[in-house]
Structure 1
Amino acid sequence: MEIKRAYRFRFYPTPEQEVILARTFGCARFAYNHMLRLRTDAWYQRQERVGYHETSAALTALKKTPEHAWLNEVSSVPVQQALRHLQTAFANFFAKRAKYPNFRRKDGEQSAEYTTSAFKWDGNSLTLAKMKEPLAIRWSRAIPKGAKVTTCTVSKDTAGRFHVSMLCDDVVSAKQGSASQVGIDLGLTRFAILSTGEKIAAPNGFRKNEKKLAKLQRRLAKKQIGSANRRKAKLKVARVHARTADSRRDFLHKLSTRLINENQVIAIESLSVKNMQKNRSLAKSISDASWSEFVRQLTYKAQWYGRTLVGIDRWYPSSKRCSDCGHTVSKMPLNVRSWTCQECGSIHDRDVNAARNVLAAGLAVSAHGESVNPMSL
């Protein structure tokens, strides 16, 4: 199966490379914001639609003006790609997949995309346009030999770390078939409860750093705007957020990969996360759990490796239904963690019983050939 796969690495630029990247980020950000303002004003003032080709022509004219000659000091590819990203943002907005595009901030995450004409990749080193030396990349894993690198996206996060994402044309093969099947019930106290009875603890990355983060944010609020001390305090806050996001992403990838490797069929309950986050008491914990990202990873990994992922309707009474006899109780308050079936007398752990019911429902859906989309998360 041919796929597009991105390999992301951290790298450490030289002082000269850092200057070039800072200029490139600034030019790409300026082009994006300038053309966003151009398109917005054209619509609201003259009811005129401006597309990618018009913004590209406007950028060419802009580079010829003396006050914007600095746009020519960097590679033209990342600046041009910024206009393509803007076009994609508007396409997503008109298709109601995203909100109206926002202006990019100077103190936010920075990125620049290079296509094949703007970088050199020899299989061992990566050199970007306008740079004399290759990037000092920390190779945490190997890129498959013969894989064609189509684009490279260089980014700098708010914690000051540089990363490069290399998009490749790759081939994956289905994993060897497995007789194992599993149902997953997602939770907050326990991130996931499996139909096998295993309970996987939630990482609670944000909760663990919440007090430290609150302390650093209070210090940041007291610093004078524009001062060097404020920049230092802001960097400390960003580093805590980055560490939390990294630990969460690492946990989700390890768990999703393990489940894909061990099971042929995975059944999971579909949840409306956006609606659940309206609960003020649970919103922070739900966001920290990142269920949507977990299901996203399960979805594409199942497609890659020939596994079956089945989503169960969110209204399916998995917790209230006895997994032994099928009897369904009328009510099951959240504080009830174990219960006894009135019909068959089976004693159930609430979450394990729900996971078993999710698996049974998923197998029924799979057997009848019905299509259920788990990505309603």
Structure 2
Amino acid sequence: MKARYRYRFYPTSQQKQSIAQLFGCVRVVWNDALALCKQLDKKPSSADLQKIVITGAKNTEERAWLGDVSCVPLQQSVADLDVAFKNFFNSCKGKRKGSKVGHPKFKKRTSSQSARFRIGGFSLKGDGVYLAKIGIVSPIWSRELPSEPSSVTVIKDCANRYFLSFVVEIQPIPSEAKNSSIGIDLGIQTFAVMSNGEKAESPSYKKLDRKVRKLQRKLARQPRDSKRRNVTRIFIAKLHNKIADTRKDFLHKLSTKIVNENQVIVLEDLNVSGMVKNRKLSRAISQQGWYEFRTLCERQSEKLGREFKVISRWEPTSQICSDCGFKWGKIDLSIRSVLCLNCGTEQDRDENAAKNIAQVGMGNRHDYKRAQRDCQTMKGSRTL
């Protein structure tokens, strides 16, 4: 099982220049290869593209500076473009699962930059990492690498932060859990309500979001390619990173806690792309990170030998009493608790849905049609 271990590092001024030159060369090779593919009727192979945009370009005056950096990241850039085209073609033909993948785009200088080194272009030397034609960089080792990395990616985000991302091989470690199963209902006001009664409140992003929107209006008024616009752009990127880091920290801790304590984790398949079309709730839904939470739970379950299940989005989990199975139908979102007409139990909307999710995931369902008939019979006997 492969995993990524990411560490931050602070390069020296000379290393920053070398890394910036490397990013520029990788970006130019990608853009040249993409432009060549658009001009030709048939896409060339990855090997042919490397001969044209790397080997052949080094012999010209316009691209002679490509020889100043390592050839490994340049080759990986062309290989990544080839993978991007394969994903695009498979998505168009319906061979790729998930949402549709768009056509590869040209890379920009203001976007996040990356360059990947394979074996031969990097090596671990003590507490540092040697990168070809850059030197030894010293990342902050927050945790040890479980095995020898097969590749390392140098990343610079929009807020000018530098990271090293290692791809390593890890072994799943099965362990026993305290509880047998748990159902989780995801929401906006309360991020997650568990079938055991626990609730997880998501952090508030309102203050940071207001700052971002204010600065974005300021950015729209500033002239392009000006120094002040660039300063504002970087400040907005830092705020976005702060929101993303806060969300990732919360989701990682919550998913780790849930997977460690439960053997079977059951979630509901939510139509997030359809839900964000609601203009009143789209911003709040996008900030929650429901799909990221699902991905983290799935990876943690695979790592610890847990069973991860996703039930259908068409299951009426919020329309059925989790105790007796009586179906009361659709209710408005403003109604947070329901009094069951059959058993007389007052059910919390989210907790009741979480219990139903756990029951459906484990294969235990109430016969709600029979519960409805029993309720109607009881009503008739009372009127008589």
TM-score (norm. length: structure 1) = 0.91
Deviations along 1:90-118, one digit per CA (max 9) or x if unpaired, are: 11111114111111111100000001100
Which residue of structure 2 aligns with residue 142 of structure 1?
144
Deviations along 1:129-184, one digit per CA (max 9) or x if unpaired, are: 0133x21211112223xx11110000100001001101112223112243342100
- After TM superposition, give the deviation of residue 354 of structure 1 in Å: 0.3
- After TM superposition, give the deviation of residue 48 of structure 1 in Å: 2.2
Which residue of structure 2 aligns with residue 375 of structure 1?
none
Gaps of 5+ in 1: 367-377
Decide which of 65, 69, 94 is 1:70's aligned counterpart. Answer: 65
Which residue of structure 2 aligns with residue 321 of structure 1?
320
CA distance in 1, matches of 2:275, 2:307: 27
Structure 1 counterpart of 2:351, which letter? V
CA distance in 2, matches of 1:122, 1:15: 21
CA contact (8 A) 2:180 2:264 kept: yes
Which residue of structure 1 aligns with residue 262 of structure 2?
263
CA distance in 2, matches of 1:335, 1:219: 36
- For residue 297 of structure 2, give the secondary structure of its aligned residue in structure 1: helix
Which residue of structure 2 aligns with residue 117 of structure 1?
120
CA contact (8 A) 1:204 1:288 kept: no
Instruction: Compare 107-116 and 212-221 and name the one that shifted more.
Output: 212-221
Instruction: Compare 6-15 and 58-67 and name the one that shifted more.
Output: 58-67
Decide which of 79, 87, 92 is 1:84's aligned counterpart. Answer: 79
Gaps of 5+ in 2: 92-99, 366-384
Decide which of 3, 6, 15 is 2:13's aligned counterpart. Answer: 15
- For residue 120 of structure 1, give the secondary structure of its aligned residue in structure 2: strand
Q: How many residue pairs align between the two structures?
A: 356
- Is 1:185 the counterpart of 2:185 in the alignment? yes
Residues 292-307 of structure 1 correspond to what in structure 2 (within 5 A)?
292-307=291-306
- After TM superposition, give the deviation of residue 217 of structure 1 in Å: 1.9
Structure 1 counterpart of 2:291, which letter? S
- After TM superposition, give the deviation of residue 333 of structure 1 in Å: 1.7
Instruction: Compare 71-80 and 88-97 and name the one that shifted more.
Output: 88-97
CA contact (8 A) 2:172 2:305 kept: no
CA distance in 1, matches of 2:279, 2:228: 34
CA distance in 2, matches of 1:228, 1:335: 48
Structure 2 counterpart of 1:139, which letter? W
- Is 1:358 the counterpart of 2:357 in the alignment? yes
- Is 1:102 the counterpart of 2:102 in the alignment? no
CA RMSD of aligned residues (A): 1.5
- For residue 265 of structure 1, give the secondary structure of its aligned residue in structure 2: strand
CA distance in 2, matches of 1:179, 1:253: 20
- After TM superposition, give the deviation of residue 221 of structure 1 in Å: 2.5
- After TM superposition, give the deviation of residue 16 of structure 1 in Å: 1.0
CA distance in 2, matches of 1:26, 1:168: 27
- After TM superposition, give the deviation of residue 365 of structure 1 in Å: 7.5
- After TM superposition, give the deviation of residue 301 of structure 1 in Å: 1.1
- Is 1:332 the counterpart of 2:331 in the alignment? yes
- For residue 67 of structure 1, give the secondary structure of its aligned residue in structure 2: coil
Which residue of structure 2 aligns with residue 168 of structure 1?
168
